[in-house]
Structure 1
C-alpha cells in the first residue's frame, strides 16, 4: 500500500506586476493594515509558498518598506506603510535560462523543471548545454565562488522536477539519506497500448549489463529490488496515460517495468517502443516531495503534465 503524506505545495512564483522606483526592478506592493512585524506580515500575505522562501526573500534584500531596504525579520510595521517585494537578481537571471525553469530556490537547494532534450549534467561533448552548467553560471552571478551540486539525475529525454544542492554538505546529506528524506516521487508516463488494470504494483530485481541495458527478473538474482506503483489516468485505443509512483529509484526503473508489462514508454526504443509521435520520451517527473535538508520541513514540488501527453491520450 502506498503511503500518503500531508504536504505543502510549492508553486513557481508569479512574476512581479509593477515597476519599482528603482530603475529596471519589478516589484509587487502590499499595504500594511494593522501593526505587525515584517516576517509574520510576509507569511500572512503569502508572498512565497514556504517559510524558507520568505526568509530567502529577506536575506537577498528584496524587501523594501516605504522605499527603505529591510532585512530584519522583526522589523515593526505600521498601518498605511507599503511593503514592496523587488524582483531579485535571480528572477532577472532566470530569463537567460534555456530548457529549464526554477520552481524553488533557497539557501540550500534549487529545484527546477527540466525540459525534454536538456542534459542534466556533463556529457562527452563539453560544449553541450546542460542544466548543471546553466545553474552554475546562474549562481555565480551572485558570487563567483558559488557552486551547484547534482543530487539526482533525469534522463536527457525525460522532463520534469529535478533537485540540486548549493553545497557539498547538503548534497551529501540528501544522497546518503535519500530513501528517508524523499517522501514522494511521481512521474507521468505515456505508454503504448491499453493498460487494463486501473492500478497495480510491479516488483522485480534489476541488473545492468556491460552495454548499459537494464534487465528485469521476477526473482532475486543479486540485482537491485525495484518497486513501481502505477495508476491509470486515461487511455484511448493506442496509448495509456499513467501516474507512476516510485517506491524505489533504480536506473531506468519505470522504462524497464513498463516494457515488462507489455506497455513500453512511448518513444523509448531502447526498451521496446515502436512508435514516437511525441518526438521525445513519454516520461515526465511530475512531483517530488522531500524533507528539506536544513529546515526539516516537508516540501512538495509539482509540475504540470505536458500538454502533448494529454493530447495523445484523449
Structure 2
C-alpha cells in the first residue's frame, strides 16, 4: 500500500507517513528511490529519523501514523567512528562489535577506557534508551568480535544459555615456534592463584575444565598461525593452553616467552556464530585475520 509523501522544501530530509505495520528496511526499500546498499549506509550513518528520533536498526517496527524522515545530505549523517570499536551489526536487542587492542570490554577502576562506555555514549547520542550489557569478555589486548545486549532480559537470556546459544566461536593466534602437530585438542583444569595468574593442571585441581581444539593454518620455523575453536570459554584459556603446548601466544607478557614480533598480543577473535537470543535466527559474523599476523607468513 503506497503512502502519502510530504516533502518539506528547504531542509535536507524526505518525509513519509507510514500507513501499515512493517520493518523499517522493507518500508525504505519500497518508498525511497535508492539502492539497498545506499539505504543501509544511510541507516548506519544515522540519517533516518522516526517520529523525530534517529533510528539505526533496520528491523525497527513501523506502525501506521509514524513519520519517517530520510536524510538527503551526507553531512547530516554523524557516522559512528571510534578507533577502538567498530559496529558490525545492531538491532533493538543486541549489538555486535569488533574490538581493537588496547581497550577493556568493561570498566575496571576509575576512567578506564572500555567498550561498554563507548557504546553507552553512542546509544545516548543516537537517542536510544538502552545501555550496553556485558555478556562475555575479551582481554584488553585481544582484538575481535563481541556481543553486547541492549537490555537486561536479553543479557539474562545470553548469560543463562550461552553454551547453547553460541554454536561456533573461533580465534586465530600467532604462536611462538614451529608447531609439530597439524591439529589436536588440549584439555586441562584452570585455576587462578592469588596474583590472578591462571594455572593449568592435567588433573582436577578444583578449577574449571577447559577444552580447546586447534588446527595449524600456516607455519614458518619461527612462528605458527593457529586457529582455536573453544569448547569452553575460560579466562585466559587460549593463552594458557598455548603455553602448555610449549608454543605460547606471541606478545603475551603474562604467559609468553618474550617472542613479540609485531608488538601486540597475537590473538584475534575472528568468528562468532550464535542463535539470536530473541528471534532464534542463526547469526554468523567473521572478520579477516589481522594483516600483521599474515605478513609473518609471507
TM-score range, shorter chain: 0.7 to 0.9
Q: Which residue of 2 aligns with 1:6?
A: none
Give the TM-score taking structure 1 as reference length. 0.73
| Counterpart among 74, 84, 91 of residue 99 in structure 1 | 84
Instruction: Report runs of 4+ in structure 1 exceeding 6 Å deviation.
Output: 57-63, 84-91
Out of 288, 292, 295, which is 2:276 matched to? 292
Aligned residue for 2:78, secondary structure, equals: helix
User: What CA distance in whole angstroms lies between the structure 2 residues aligned with 1:192 and 1:102?
Assistant: 32
Task: Report the TM-score, using the length of structure 2 for normalisation.
Answer: 0.77
CA distance in 1, matches of 2:232, 2:204: 15
1:101-180 equivalent positions in 2, closer than 5 A = 101-124=86-109, 126-143=110-127, 145-180=129-164
Local SS of the residue matching 2:83: coil
CA distance in 2, matches of 1:231, 1:71: 43
Residues 128-165 of structure 1, C-alpha deviation per residue, up to 9 Å, x if partnerless? 32211110000012337421111111100000001111
- Match runs of 1:1-314 below 5 Å: 23=12, 39=26, 42=29, 47=37, 72=62, 92-95=78-81, 97-124=82-109, 126-143=110-127, 145-314=129-298
Give the conservation status (yes or no) of the 8 Å contact 1:58–1:73: no
Distance 2:165 2:77 in 1: 28
Which structure has more RCO (C-alpha within 8 Å, separation ≥ 6)?
1
Aligned length: 260
Q: What's the CA shift string for 1:12-38, capped at 9, x where partnerless?
A: xxxxxxxxx963x8x9xxxxxxxxxx7
SS at match of 1:134: helix
Could you list the runs of 5+ residues in structure 1 that have no partner in the other structure? 1-20, 28-37, 64-69, 75-83
Counterparts of 2:77 and 2:166 in 1: how far apart (Å)? 27
Q: Which runs of 5+ in 2 are unaligned?
A: 1-9, 15-24, 65-69
Specify whether residues 177 and 91 from structure 1 end up closer, same or farther in structure 2 by C-alpha distance, changes over 3 A only: farther
CA distance in 1 between partners of 2:79 and 2:28 (Å):
27
Greater Cα offset, 84-93 or 136-145: 84-93
Taking a change above 3 Å as real, the CA distance of residues 217 and 164 of structure 1, as seen in their structure-2 partners, is same
CA distance in 1, matches of 2:200, 2:262: 26
Residues 158-195 of structure 1, C-alpha deviation per residue, up to 9 Å, x if partnerless? 00001111001111110111001011110010000001
Q: Matches of 1:130 and 1:153 in 2, distance apart?
A: 11
Q: State the Cα distance separating 1:221 from its structure 2 match.
A: 2.4
Q: 1:132 to 1:300 in 2, by over 3 A?
A: same
- Secondary structure at 1:128 match in 2: coil
Contact 2:92–2:150 (CA<8 Å) still a contact in 1? yes
Q: Is the 8 A contact 1:188 1:285 kept in 2?
A: yes
C-alpha contact (below 8 Å) 2:54/2:126 kept by paired residues: no
When the two chains are superposed, the root-mean-square deviation of aligned CA atoms in Å is 3.3
